[in-house]
Amino acid sequence: MNLIIDIGNSLAKIALFKDGKLKRKEIVGIQDIFDFVTDIKNKYPSIKNAIISSVGKLKKSDFVKLNDLFYLLVLGSETHLPFNNLYDTPKTLGVDRMALVSASVYKFPKNNVLIIDAGTCVTYDFITSNNDYIGGAISPGLQMRYKSLHAFTANLPLLEAEKPNHIIGKSTKGSIHSGVVFGILNEIDGVIDTYKLKYPDLTVILTGGDAIFLSKQLKSSIFALPNFLLEGLNYILQYNTHE
């Protein structure tokens, strides 16, 4: 059984995988990680291996005490990955993007795959059918777009994401929803269409916190897979432990 720890800026996802299948997933505060992991280990003593992915402020040294509980892999630029990393600056490639590309190798081998992660940012990552990771793009996420309109103007309100009723906003709120939501939808559909001009057989994955909200409104054919990053982390762990 594998333990997966995915740490964000304020929250962490903790998951258990057995035989490649997700068995349990919890979301906890970063301050509660170590106590929660210790409880998990006591409850599931068969856990032998664990992986930590952190895009937050925690450092590798913060996890040293977990080495006493199991073999611990801290994902980073030196980690052995299941694809050919052709990124020009491999040491700057985010651990979340490493995991997503690894998941595509596991779930869709020998495919041209575009992975779109709709979270704080929208990231686009492309890997060829020859297992070559080329790179992608990074743009502002849904909530970031709403927040920027509020933060950088004097009078625009901060709104929660909402599906627009029409492309033409008939109020300030309606105009914001139209601009933000249709803007990000057209961006994603446009990026997919551009990739398909060169790779007609493209497989498209949409994941991340806003995946479900966006997937119902996109024109393009996609796979909406909310646990894709966790599956990628588990595959990296398997790849490095040969289990």
114-139 pLDDT, tens per residue? 999 999 999 999 999 999 999 999 99
Catalytic residues: 96
This prediction's pTM: 0.93
Residues 150-169 have a mean pLDDT of 96
* Residue 9 clears pLDDT 80, i.e. is over it: no
What was the pLDDT predicted at 59? 60
What was the pLDDT predicted at 30? 83
What was the pLDDT predicted at 66? 78
Q: Which domains does the chain have, with CATH numbers?
A: 1-74 (3.30.420.40), 76-243 (3.30.420.40)
In sequence order, the 6+-apart residues with CB closer than 8 A to the CB of 182 are 164, 167
Cross-sheet strand order for the sheet of 21-29: 21-29, 11-18, 2-7, 49-54, 71-74
In the annotated binding site for ATP, the residues are 6-13, 120
What are 192-224's pLDDT values in tens digits? 999 999 999 999 999 999 999 999 999 998 999
Q: Which two tokens stand for residue 141?
A: 């996420």
* Residue 81 clears pLDDT 60, i.e. is over it: yes
What was the pLDDT predicted at 54? 87
Query: What letters, b where the CB count within 10 A reaches 16 and e where it falls short, cover 204-235?
Result: bbbbbebbebbbeebebebbbbeebbbbbbbb
- Average of per-residue pLDDT values in the chain: 93
In the annotated binding site, the residues are 6-13, 87, 94-97, 117, 120, 172
What was the pLDDT predicted at 56? 66
Cβ-based neighbour number of residue 141 at 10 Å: 20
What was the pLDDT predicted at 139? 98
In the annotated binding site for substrate, the residues are 87, 94-97, 172
What are 35-64's pLDDT values in tens digits? 899 899 899 999 999 999 987 666 666 677
Amino acid at 51: I
3-state secondary structure the chain: CEEEEEECCCEEEEEEEECCEEEEEEEEEHHHHHHHHHHHHHHCCCCCEEEEEECCCCCHHHHHHHHHCCEEEECCCCCCCCCEECCCCHHHCCHHHHHHHHHHHHHCCCCCEEEEEECCEEEEEEECCCCEEEEEEEEECHHHHHHHHHHCCCCCCCCCCCCCCCCCCCCHHHHHHHHHHHHHHHHHHHHHHHHHHHCCCCEEEEECCCHHHHHCCCCCCCEECCCHHHHHHHHHHHHHHCC
* Residue 69 clears pLDDT 80, i.e. is over it: yes
In the annotated binding site for K(+), the residues are 117
What was the pLDDT predicted at 60? 62
Phi, psi at 172, each rounded to 5°: -60, -45
Distance CA 189, CA 114 (A): 12
What was the pLDDT predicted at 243? 57
